[in-house]
Structure 1
């Protein structure tokens, strides 16, 4: 795990309400340089409001958002880059022309060839933006977010609607951007995506951060049991001994939840029970979210 020291964003007691409802209710966290920080939560949790405050789109009622390394003479818009979940691009314009158009919006930009290469746009430069596939469009939007050479990049649901292959290609791009030392703030409803990309996550619920930390550390903190599954056809003759050990039988499989995985496996081996088709379930961030909030992140 990378070692992060320099704080890029410092959020202190941030609050924002709408018509008496606390959308953001006194949250605190730091984002460090080179980190991918995931802000997770269902619709209505307050994460979009929080992100809009960090981006300077909305103002907080109270609290503070500080970018310690932001040069005094630099506007925040030059320091950050953004992709939105829904972004409208000009009609009847090609990819290369879109890059040129957005480059003219900033006083200083990255070399276009570098952006084209980093976001793998070489094959679609002369294609109309309306004719791009979902994955191609997301690569273009990422390029536009990088065009001003930002230190911090906000990605709002960047892979929504992409097929699995396109999603994984996009993950590879994000990893390559992290290698450049960029800091990424990610919102996503895909838990495998958060697990793959994020160094830290914060889970929001009803305007508050209810848990925060490294994904693996949080899973270890909240889940100290392993779940084993065996197909019924492999264990029918051993039903009594397995039930005595604590296995629960279902229609197609038997299941055991245990804190001592080596002991459970040893029991199976000592009793000559076939474990060729055993499945050991790993807890996921979605399991964690359900445990903490009672709802799936996708609800």
Structure 2
């Protein structure tokens, strides 16, 4: 297959690597322009650009795909198919129609649940039992194309967005390679339309959502902490400073009548009372200006005791 690959972040890297390994001819790699990053705000290439250049592939980084000269450049590839994985730019209909066999996307949810920008985060926050990857046709409407294949991953009580992200990226790569094998052999990919009655939207995360409300249940707060790992990271005041919480799980079989946010114990993690009478165990956190630490190491440098309070200002 002559493939145009459109992707930008780490999520897209396993798919591009797998397609190259499978022997496909990647005639163009579309990725977003280099962006300022780090303290020096120097221009930084996307992870996909870095990988593409390692293989000597043609990298194209337009600011938009709506420009006629950009569209002409894409048309000149005479690609068989376009594959999209977290590209981040709107792809006009005229571009979608250029490849002989159309355009297919790797989406990190079990469509039609969680169309949109933050499907992994939203699946954890909602308490879903499972998530996954959907290979789908790309159409002008957001994540609305017919579905080719799916891979399912259970969500456990310790899963974070980072961990699921990595698992789903790997599964998506395998599914896309399998789909391209079928397309090469048969010239078509069977697909099933999405049920519009089952659609939910994974809206973009807002930084305000990272602030912990200790009146919520232990299960809700655990999901919040794990969903916002690695970004934007859940946070709460402690001793007048903003603390970032990286991992927290519910404590089965334990309840408390203490005020929500109260520290109950600091020996096996930091145990905190929650609004439903449940108890949360914080096992990894970070002080302002400090490093991300296990609770046991954190407490070596912070005078934390039962009766102290999370929350407030």
Relative to the length of structure 2, the TM-score reads 0.25
Structure with greater contact order relative to length (CA < 8 Å, sep ≥ 6)? 1
Between Structure 1 and Structure 2, the one with more helix by share is 1
